[in-house]
Amino acid sequence: MHDYVDVDYEVISWNPLVMRVITDEEELTVTGYPVILRVMKVNNKYSVWVNVIISTRTNKPRPGPLCTPTMLNARPAGIKGVDVVRDGSLTLKLNAGGALTIIIKPTNISVYPDYRDQFGSPCVMLNWAVFW
């Protein structure tokens, strides 16, 4: 059995992930905002749980059915290019002492042009990895 302790922290710096994505039909700016869910210390090692909230802007907004989990059955767009402008990062000051820098790197992106958010941008699914 592992003993763990919740660690209190303060966010010192916060930088969103920024990507430019070119599909067959439009150009997107995808911004990922890291959110800390929990920081724990387990066996003298830190465990950080992070989620990423994404926002998408397109150069060709248009209406369409709203994003839903069923969009995963829809055809994804052909992606011509992806440019990671900036990896996401967080620096935490730990109340237990010291600091911890967390890096968020994208690993996969899918764009669903037939479905749209409330602002007319296509629905996007982003996978990421977290490093510290």
pLDDT digits (tens, 9 = 90+) for 38-63: 999 988 888 999 999 999 999 999 99
What is d(CA 103, CA 82) in angstroms, rounded to the nearest whole number? 19
What is d(CA 128, CA 119) in angstroms, rounded to the nearest whole number? 24
DSSP element (H, E) containing 31:
strand 27-42
Report the predicted TM-score, pTM, of the whole model to 2 decimal places: 0.89
125: left (phi over 0), alpha (psi -120 to 50) or beta: beta
pLDDT digits (tens, 9 = 90+) for 54-89: 999 999 999 999 998 888 788 899 999 999 999 999
Helices (H) and strands (E) in the chain, counts: 0, 9
